[in-house]
Chains A and B, each alone.
Chain A
Amino acid sequence: MKIHQLSLFLENKPGQMTEPCRLLAQAGINIRTLTLADTEQFGILRLIVSDWQKGDRLLEEAGYVVNVTEVVAVEVPDRPGGLAELLAVFDHTDINIEYMYAFTFGRGDTAVMIFRFDKPDAAIERLQLAGNIIVGSTEVYSRISR
Chain B
Amino acid sequence: MIEHSSKIHPASAPDYTPVAQLRDLQLGRLQATAARAYERVELYRRRMNERNMRPEDLRTLEDLANLPFTVKADLRDTYPFGLFASPLEEIVRLHASSGTTGKPIVVGYTQHDVGVWTDAMTRTFLACGLGRGDIIQNAYGYGLFTGGLGAHYGAEALGATVIPISGGNTDRQIMVMKDFKVTAICCTPSYFLHLLDRAAQMEVNVAELPLRVGVFGAEPWTDSLRRHIEAAAGIKAFDIYGLTEITGPGVGIECPCQAGLHIFEDHFYPEIIDPETGRLVAEGEEGELVLTTLSKQAMPMIRYRTRDISAFVPGSCPCGRTLRRIRRISRRSDDMFIIRGVNVFPSQVETALLAVEGMLPHYQIILTREAGLDQLEVQVEVTPPVASDRVAALENLHNKLAHTLSQTLGLRVKVRLVAPQTLKRSEGKAQRVIDRRNI
Interface residues of A (CB under 8 A from B): 5, 7, 9-11, 16, 37, 39, 41-42, 44, 46, 63-67, 69, 98-99, 116
Contact = CB atoms under 8 A, between A and B. Distances in A.
Given A11-B422, A39-B395, A44 B389 contact: yes
Interface stretch (B90-98, B203-211, B380-388): B380-388
Given A9-B382, A9-B394, A42-B394, A69 B389 contact: yes
A64 B420 contact: yes
Interface stretch (B81-89, B219-227, B365-373, B411-419): B411-419
Q: Which 5 A-B pairs have the closest CB atoms?
A: A7-B389, A65-B387, A63-B421, A69-B389, A9-B382
Contacts of B421: 63
A98 B394 CA distance: 14
Given A11-B419, A39-B395, A98 B390 contact: yes
Nearest to B395: A39
Contacts of B416: 41
17 contacts: A7-B387, A9-B382, A9-B387, A9-B420, A11-B419, A11-B422, A39-B391, A39-B394, A39-B395, A41-B417, A42-B417, A44-B388, A44-B390, A46-B389, A64-B419, A66-B387, A67-B388
B389 A65 contact: no
A9 B417 CA distance: 10
B45 interface: no
B423 to A, nearest CB: 12
B418 A44 contact: no
B389 A67 contact: yes
Given A9-B382, A65-B383, A44 B419 contact: no
A37 to B, nearest CB: 5
A16 B418 CA distance: 12
Given A65-B384, A65-B387, A44 B420 contact: no
B390 A99 contact: yes
B331 interface: no
Contacts of B112: none
Contact of A67 (B387, B391, B398): B387
B388 A7 contact: yes
Contacts, number: 52
Contacts of B389: 5, 7, 44, 46, 67, 69, 116
B8 to A, nearest CB: 59
Contacts of A67: 384, 387-389
Nearest to B394: A42
A11 B391 CA distance: 13
Nearest to B392: A98
A66 B419 CA distance: 11
Given A10-B419, A65-B382, A44 B391 contact: yes
B358 to A, nearest CB: 16
A112 B124 CA distance: 77
Contacts of B388: 7, 44, 67
Contacts of A116: 389-390
Contacts of A64: 419-420
Contacts of A42: 382, 394, 417, 419
Contacts of B383: 65
Nearest to B420: A65
Q: Which of A5, A9, A39, A67 has the most chain B CB atoms inside 10 A of its CB?
A: A9
A63 B383 CA distance: 10
Contacts of B384: 65, 67
Contacts of B418: 11
B15 to A, nearest CB: 54
A30 to B, nearest CB: 20
A44 B419 CA distance: 11
A69 B419 CA distance: 19
Given A7-B389, A46-B389, A63 B420 contact: yes
B49 to A, nearest CB: 54
A44 B382 contact: no
A5 B388 CA distance: 12
A41 to B, nearest CB: 6
Contacts of B420: 9, 63-65
A24 B388 CA distance: 20
Nearest to A69: B389
Contacts of A66: 387
Nearest to A99: B390
Contacts of A16: 419
Nearest to B384: A65
A56 to B, nearest CB: 11
A99 B382 CA distance: 21
A118 to B, nearest CB: 10
Contacts of B391: 37, 39, 44
A16 B384 CA distance: 18
A10 B422 CA distance: 11
Nearest to B387: A65
A119 to B, nearest CB: 14
Interface in B356-411: 382-384, 387-391, 394-395, 398
